[in-house]
Structure 1
Amino acid sequence: MITSITPLRPDECAPVPDAGLGALATERGNLPLESVDVTAELSGLVAGVKVTQGFRNPFDVALEATYIFPLPDRAAVTAFRMEADGRVVEGVLKERGQARADYDQAVAEGRRAAIAEEDRPDVFTIRVGNIVPGERVTVHLTLDQPLPYEDGAATFRFPLVVAPRYIPGVPLDGEQAGDGWAPDTDAVPDASRITPPVLLPGFPNPVRLSLAATIDAAGLELQEVRSSLHTVLQEGDTVRLQPGERLDRDFILRLSFGASSSLALVPDAEGEEGTFALTVVPPQAPPTATPKDVVLVLDRSGSMSGWKMVAARRAAARIIDTLTGSDRFAVLSFDTVVERPERLDGGLVEASDRNRYRAVEHLARLEARGGTEMLDPLREAAAMLGDPSRDRVLVLVTDGQVGNESQIIKEVGGRLVGVRVHTVGIDRAVNAGFLSRLSGLGGGRCELVESEDRLDEAMEHIHRRIGSPVVTELSLKGDGLDPVAGETGRLGSIYPGVPLTVHGRYRGAASGAVVLHGTDASGHSWERRIAGTRVDNPAVRSIWARARLRDLEDRYAAGDHSVEEKILSTSLRYGVLCRFTAFVAIDSRVVAEGGPAHRVVQPVELPSGWETGPAAPMAAAPMAWMSPPAGGPPAAPMAAPRPAAPGGAARASFQPAAFDWMEQERPADPFEETERFFPRADGPVAGSTVPVPPPHMVTPYPSSPVPAPAGQDALRAQLAEELRRLRAAESLRSADRLRYLADLGNRLTALATSIGGHPELEALARDLTAPEPAADVDTLWRLAVHTLETLTDGGQEKKRRPFWKR
């Protein structure tokens, strides 16, 4: 049989502008985030920033929107506000678990609410609940951030996208911490909170972006303003982003002006204490050639493909070329495995011409591939740098796109004592938070390279840092000023061209000076006295608090959990958001009966410059994995499936869609339909690409009789499994939750009978299976959770749960 194919006329198949394979266009749109507006006031070396996010509900049911987004890693978030329907609700900073409980309760009661949480120093999550159909809700964040200064230029960097991160480890059972595409693992127990779904390339602009920065040199002579990755328009003292830019790379401004040593004193409102900001411009000193041991660790994983791999090879080669014959060095390149140059694999070798040539030749052959298993090469590097008689330097060249930052800090932090750690971050959406934390451990520096054009300038900075510092062994004392012991940031060392900036707290009047002591490159004593000046700049206080919290959080990540109360009290006292607290804004008005019927995790852009081929951290899936039923809403653009963990079988994974038709039009029997659309499996299937159900679609146990457990341990284990499934089904609609509770009551009745009676189980079962329950579904649900927690010692377990799951 021969069938002729008639081509369509051009007017019958006009393409959608900017649309790519899998992109959709609807009259109402299908993504809740409408706009992101950033306004910054740059004053000297401090920036005050306001971020406004606009959400709109394009659906015909109440919506909860979740947005995972970045902020500058050193920024202090000090205020949060929600606006909707002419009402303004100010956010309140609370302990994270309490803030979540208040938010969940308000949303369940049908009230508008919003919550802002920090998951990494530079990754945050906002949830906005009960956005009614057609309504717009805006949330506002206020933050202060310092501007790093080097070689006569300050840098204002504002990140705009959370890049996909490599998630190592074995997937964890039980409830997930968030709704991201990656499952929580033993190495990254909150992976599902930092992995938002990613839009397919070519999707039309989903978010309207505006960004404006007003520059005040604050008495300094401003010489030049440069924008690195974006085209900007300048109107007087204000620099604006041109319309139409996407949220796919960092916004970077560099401001050239001179700086001088200074000490700013900012008293608290009460006047009994205050905060100081010390800036010390480095002295002029001739370069030194102290013999040193240098280990260069180069990331060649899949996310480094394209221009990043080229820049990383060039950077590493430049570093090796700066070494002298008195130095020793080693080169480690890594992805899933660690490799060394041929004939240079015996540890540290002399930096002779021949050895440096072999190393550069090895680097020239490297291509991006595999996963980002960063922990092993850092362990090896730390083991090589064990000779305290030499100047020890570790240089890491990477984009930093890993999720197990805390695991790495914990494992290698103690091994890097006495080692200067320098990090070179190469990406247009770099993981600056992690790289800054890592370099801070060893008193080193973090250099960020966002393009090949900036590489030469950045390498000049790196070359000086690998050389010996100008001043080391720093200590600080007050002269007429009383610094608070233990509340001063890390002093580190002073490098050529890099002013030292230190924030701390003081007691008493805002007067006096500080004296900085150290040892210069020739081994002589060095001293500098800086007189204080009283200023009215509250940002100094919040910036200090954020730096203090980051130091404490690093101690917590390294295993010192005794600092948890200190972290919490510092965050609440100074009103600065951290990982142990959250801002929550709750409206008093009820607008949606029964809470949101639809939930959406906002997809994010693939970072600019990332490739979508096999070397990228995720595959470029051109189509959604399944189609909606006939007559149903259109499928959403979906993120690509997560690749298998290296060295193991592929794990089936589900990535949240921007518009989940199954969530909006749930069939009459959701558990039966779940079985149909999500094939069940008892465990991971090697090579499988079939999605596993998200938590809200977990199939419950059947209502068949429950076998009697043998002993109390077995009973607790069975009840713990019931508790896990109960939590996983928490997002079901009210009618489905009632049905689930009735089924649970029947199973508990059978279980109590099988063990010869159990008063607590029997009482709970009666409440859950009553023909007409006396309590509403939320009250019954909380009762079931509380009872099962108590019977499984879950109440004690809950107190010890990680803070990101509280």
Structure 2
Amino acid sequence: MFGLLTFEKDSVPLKSIEVQLEVKDHVATVASTLNYENKEDKSVEAVFVFPMPGDAAVCHFSAQVGQTNVVAEVKDKQQAREEYDNGLSSGQQVFILEESDESPDIFALSVGNLHPGESASIRLEYVTELAVQADDGLRFCLPVVLNPRYQPQGSEGPSVQVTSVPAFMVPYSLSFSARVSSPRPVSKVESNSPLEPLQYLSADQTQATFKLAEEYKFDRDVELLIYYKDAQQPTAVVEAGEASAEPGSVMGDPVVMVSLYPEYSESVMSKCNSSGEFVFLLDRSASMDFPLYCGSHESRIASAKDTLLLLLKSLPNGCYFNIYSFGDSYEHVFPLESRDPLCSASITLFIFTDGEVCCTKSVVDEVKKNSEFHRCFSFGIGEGASSELIYGMAREGGGHAQFIIGKERMQPKAMQSLRFALQPRVADVSLSWDLPEGVSATLLSPPIRTLLQGQRSLIYAQLTGECSEATDGCLTVNFTAAGHQCQNQLHFSLRPAEGIAHEAGFDQKGDGPLTCLPIHRLAARTLIRSLEWEHRQNGQEGEVKKILELSIQSGISSVFTAFLAVNKCNGKAVEGPLIYRENPTYMPLLRGGLEFLMFDYLCRERNVFRRIYSSLRKRASASKLGKSFKKKLVSGDSETRKPARDPLLELVSLQNASGCWLLDPCLAAALQKNMQELEETKPKSVKKEVWATILALIWLHGFKVEEKDEWELLAAKAASWLRAKKVVCLRACVEAGNVLLGCNVQTDALGL
């Protein structure tokens, strides 16, 4: 069959993939079944390299061959590899699942000794936390797009080799179904892929199911946004331990998962940062020239450039910035000159990229090591961007991660991150537990360094001791923000949540997730990742031993372990070499080649962040944006600035860094008027810049109110500039502007 051929006309045994998703509030359990069929006349060893969410905890792996079901065990990786090789040579059917040494979001599955005409079903399960987006949607991504991982020149270690074919030649199918349940009603589910209608299972709409529509093509990751009513509520869920596990262990004791939504007082929020230092890192590799999505007329780099311009215009006066672009090399806007490190503690990184690197862990480690000097806000553009790279940089850099998928606009997400970045920085974060006598809590998560209002912080803690089921506990979070002592409290029940530990959601016949204790496994994964980080920094064998013990005890994969399943039935020694087949992994044609990626230089020079911070001697104030740079940013190397396609972005591009607009033909064109109309309607005693700025604000409030989240900050800067001018006939100007533009905007609405 043509559908089972690669470009080289070789047979591919992977036939289909079935995925079931179970979402319980903020936790997702995913079960994937990979169906293999060997249609060749010799035994096959098939290798399938595939992406996984970077924060997933892989906790189950099994193989069904004929009537025999073999459940894999977690073993030391080296031992598992030796047993796999021995099993191959002795004719046993062996299966091994390994996590990449360099990137925790890449896994390799090897299927050994699949006999002629034989079928095998491989089942793997993982649990993952759902990230909260700026609009309170919970993001779930099933990565089906695996792009090549590029290895920086001079770095060591093997790169991940990926065979890629276009969508119409992907020789396997995908079916996807999901079930969602929550204490709060499920308001809606959105996706970048076609879905069948949401089906509610209860009158209160707290349970629902949906499926991927049949017309889905292998041209994108499957991204879901799940919305609950009243989503931003702090919660704590206690999960009972495993009865067979050793008391006192992570799996044996109860574990609590706490979702924190910090709240600041109005006095704290009123002291948002009015100054700071921003470094913008913008990917300009070859793939950024391709469309944002299939059918789009706008390229990724064009959208990122417009977004960068909007960010610069929205920076408060007094901020300093520099811009780096990177591809096979990197450049900066303002010169690097040696000087003493900056005194400011409010350095913020904004990173825009559509790519992946093979050394994801090294990049994330570099961000974490330098987190004392910066906060990191990351943006993944387009399909297939590495979730671990984007989430990892934001997580370790104390910032926020955003993904721009399909037809989503980049600008509102960037502005949401800027609002986070301008919040007062917190310090001295501490947790205190008020628990019944004899009960104690041990934090399993890394210490909290950053709290942002409107962003969830998730922590895990192990509970030891005995208490009544009706007993409550309290967690108090203390921190300092803008010089104010702040305190948030969360009262919660110590009674384990019913159904979360052992209820599967689907039935027990292999039709859905079976994994129990999802919170325990997520907690174990968090602890394992922390120990892996310590080992990468210290190289101590003690950490390796702890990781092995915890990984095997919890059944969670790690960089030092692998899942191994051996079917010892009917083993025959193999005569001659096995046929080796790599299953192709889809990469869209539009993505082209990522020649080099964002942190190419970061992997070579460990102190790049310090170099950035310590070398901005000639910092440029946002209030003194030079003409030459302005031309370079807007028009590249062209002498003639090309007008922005979007009317809003065109008006934004005309604003001065101080906050005002100039009364010129460009503004007249953006307002769809001519210069004569603007000049004739201007009140006589009003200066041209004041009149131009009032007109721009009226246009924004009158015609672009739905995009207010994009221009609100720059409009506030314009209003501040106008207030400083102390315009005498302000209301008369607003009335005249309304008449000219055909609006009815009140002076108070303009912030004046």
Instruction: Indicate yes or no: 2:523 matched with 1:544.
Output: yes
- Equivalent residue of 1:436, what SS? helix
Structure 1 residues 566 and 316, CA gap change in structure 2 (3 angstroms): farther
Distance change in 2, residues 1:584/1:491 (3 Å): same
Match of 1:292 in 2: 276
Contact kept? 1:80, 1:90, Cα under 8 Å: yes
Matched residues in 2 for 1:387 and 1:230: separation? 49
Equivalent residue number for residue 215 of structure 1: 180
**Preserved CA contact (<8 Å) 1:106 1:586:** yes
- Structure 1 residues 601, 561: closer, same or farther in 2, change over 3 A? farther
User: What is the CA deviation profile of residues 101-134 of structure 1, one whole-angstrom value per residue up to 9, with x for unaligned ones?
Assistant: 1111111100111111111221101000000111
Secondary structure at the counterpart of residue 462 of structure 1: helix
Specify the code of the residue in structure 2 equivalent to 1:155: R
Give the corresponding residue for 2:310.
318
TM-superposition CA deviations, 1:134-171 (whole Å, max 9, x none): 1111100111111122443211211112211221234x
Alignment partner of 1:391 is 2:359: no
> How far apart are residue 83 of structure 1 and its match?
0.6
Name the CA shift for 1:42/1:202 in 2 (closer, same or farther; >3 Å): closer
C-alpha distance in 2 between matches for 1:509 and 1:607: 55
Q: 1:40, CA displacement in angstroms?
A: 0.4
In the alignment, the residues of structure 2 paired with residue 304 and residue 559 of structure 1 have an alpha-carbon distance, to the nearest angstrom, of 37
How far is the alpha carbon of 1:339 from its aligned partner?
1.1
Per the alignment, residue 149 of structure 2 pairs with 165
Structure 2: segments with no counterpart, 5+ residues: 201-207, 293-299, 501-516, 602-752
From 539, 545, 548, the counterpart of 1:568: 548
Structure 1 residues 336, 205: CA separation in 2 closer, same or farther (over 3 Å shift)? closer
Aligned residue identity for 1:506: L
Q: CA deviation at 1:280?
A: 1.8
Aligned to 1:416: 371
Counterparts of residues 181-260 of structure 1 (less than 5 Å): 187-191=155-159, 194-199=160-165, 201=166, 203-216=168-181, 218-236=182-200, 237-257=208-228, 258-259=230-231, 260=233
C-alpha change, 1:408 and 1:23, in structure 2 (3 Å) is closer
Q: 2:458 aligns with which of 493, 501, 507?
A: 501
Q: Is the 8 A contact 2:97 2:110 kept in 1?
A: yes
Report the CA distance between 1:91 and its aligned residue.
0.7
Quick one: distance in 2 between partners of 1:386 and 1:506?
Answer: 44
Q: Deviations over 1:169-226 (max 9, x none)?
A: 34xxxxxxxxxxxxxxxx24131xx221112x3652311111111121x221222211
Distance 2:528 2:218 in 1: 28
Counterparts of 1:480 and 1:52 in 2: how far apart (Å)? 42
1:138 aligns with 2:121: yes
Structure 1's 553 and 436: CA in aligned 2 closer, same or farther, altered over 3 A? farther
Query: Which secondary structure does the structure 2 equivalent of 1:195 belong to?
Result: coil
What TM-score, normalized by structure 2, do the two folds share?
0.67
Do the aligned residues in 2 keep the contact of 1:464 with 1:496 (CA within 8 Å)? no
Secondary structure at 1:524's aligned position in 2?
A: strand
Would the aligned equivalents of 2:52 and 2:107 in 1 still touch at CA under 8 Å? yes
Could you say which residue in structure 2 is the equivalent of 1:68?
Answer: 49
1:38 to partner: Cα distance: 0.7
Instruction: Give 2:330's aligned amino acid.
Output: V
The structural deviation recorded for 1:458 is: 1.8
With 587-596 and 438-447 compared, the bigger mean Cα shift is at 587-596
Partner of 1:148: 131
Question: SS of the residue aligned with 1:444?
Answer: coil
Check 1:132–1:309 CA distance in 2 against 1; reply closer, same or farther (3 A cut).
same
Cα distance between partner residues in 2 of 1:95 and 1:64: 22
The answer for the alignment partner of 2:236 in structure 1 is 263
Contact 2:149 2:357 in 1 (8 A): yes
- Structure 1 residues 335, 504: CA separation in 2 closer, same or farther (over 3 Å shift)? same
Residue 345 (structure 1) aligns with = 335
**RMSD of aligned alpha carbons:** 2.9
1:516 aligned onto 2:477: yes
C-alpha distance in 1 between matches for 2:39 and 2:381: 38
Letter in 2 for 1:345: P
- Once residues 456 and 141 of structure 2 are traced to their aligned partners in structure 1, the CA distance between those partners, rounded to angstroms, is 18
Structure 1 partner of 2:61? 80
Aligned equivalent of 1:670: none
**CA pair 123-445 structure 1, distance change in 2 beyond 3 A:** same
Aligned to 2:326: 334
Match among 358, 362, 366 for residue 403 of structure 1: 358
Task: State the one-letter code of the partner of 1:224.
Answer: K
Separation in 2 of the partners of 1:591 and 1:561?
Answer: 40
1:94 corresponds in structure 2 to 75
Question: What is the letter of the counterpart of residue 530 of structure 1?
Answer: H
CA contact (8 A) 1:83 1:137 kept: yes
Cα drift, residue 457 of structure 1: 3.9
TM-aligned CA distance change 1:310 to 1:207, over 3 Å = farther
**Following the alignment from structure 1 to structure 2, what is the Cα–Cα distance between the partners of residues 461 and 161?**
27
Partner of 2:488: 527
Q: Deviations over 1:762-782 (max 9, x none)?
A: xxxxxxxxxxxxxxxxxxxxx
Query: Does structure 2 conserve the Cα–Cα contact (< 8 Å) formed by 1:47 and 1:144?
Result: yes
Counterparts in 2 of 1:542 and 1:410: CA distance versus 1, 3 Å:
closer
Give the structure 2 partner of residue 45 of structure 1: 26
Assess, with a 3 A threshold, how the Cα gap between structure 1 residues 246 and 114 changes in structure 2: closer, same or farther. farther
Post-superposition offset of 1:524: 2.6
Q: Which has the higher contact order (CA 8 A, sep 6+)?
A: 2
**Structure 2 match to 1:379:** none
Distance 2:540 2:217 in 1: 40
Contact 1:316 1:397 in 2 (8 A): no
Q: For 2:428 and 2:75, how far apart are their aligned partners in 1?
A: 39
Q: Is the 8 A contact 1:228 1:251 kept in 2?
A: yes
TM-score with structure 1 setting the length:
0.63
Counterpart of 1:138 in structure 2: which amino acid?
A: S
In the alignment, which residue of structure 1 is the partner of 2:383? 428
Q: Which amino acid aligns with 1:492?
A: R
1:458 equivalenced with 2:448 (yes/no)? no
Q: Structure 1 residues 135 and 17 mapped into 2: Cα distance closer, same or farther (>3 Å)? A: closer
Residues 170 and 586 of structure 2 are in contact (CA less than 8 Å); yes or no, is this contact kept in structure 1?
no
State whether residues 355 and 594 of structure 2, in contact with CA within 8 Å, keep that contact through their aligned partners in structure 1.
no
CA contact (8 A) 1:18 1:204 kept: yes
Match of 2:567 in 1: 587
2:110 is the alignment partner of 1:127: yes
Q: Hey, what's the Cα distance between the residues in 2 that align with 1:592 and 1:81?
A: 22
- Distance change (3 Å), C-alpha of 1:283 and 1:331: same
> Quick one: distance in 1 between partners of 2:340 and 2:351?
14
Question: What residue in structure 2 maps to residue 350 of structure 1?
Answer: none
Q: 1:503 to 1:19 in 2, by over 3 A?
A: closer
Residue 50 of structure 1: how far off its partner (Å): 0.4
Which of 278, 300, 310 does residue 258 from structure 2 map onto?
Answer: 278
Hey, what does 2:691 align to over in structure 1? Answer: none
- Quote the offset at 1:229 in angstroms: 4.0
CA offset digits 1:506-542 (Å, max 9, x no partner):
2223652221111234523323243344224311111
Between the aligned partners of 2:533 and 2:579, the Cα distance in structure 1 is 37
Q: 1:152 to 1:404 in 2, by over 3 A?
A: closer
> What CA distance in whole angstroms lies between the structure 2 residues aligned with 1:64 and 1:421?
43
Asked whether the 8 Å contact 2:63–2:120 carries over to 1, the reply is: yes
SS at match of 1:88: strand
Q: Contact 1:94–1:572 (CA<8 Å) still a contact in 2?
A: yes
Q: Which residue of 2 aligns with 1:55?
A: 36
Task: Indicate yes or no: 2:428 matched with 1:473.
Answer: yes
Q: Equivalents in 2 of 1:17, 1:108: separation in Å? A: 32
State the identity as a percent.
Answer: 23
Pairs aligned (count):
542
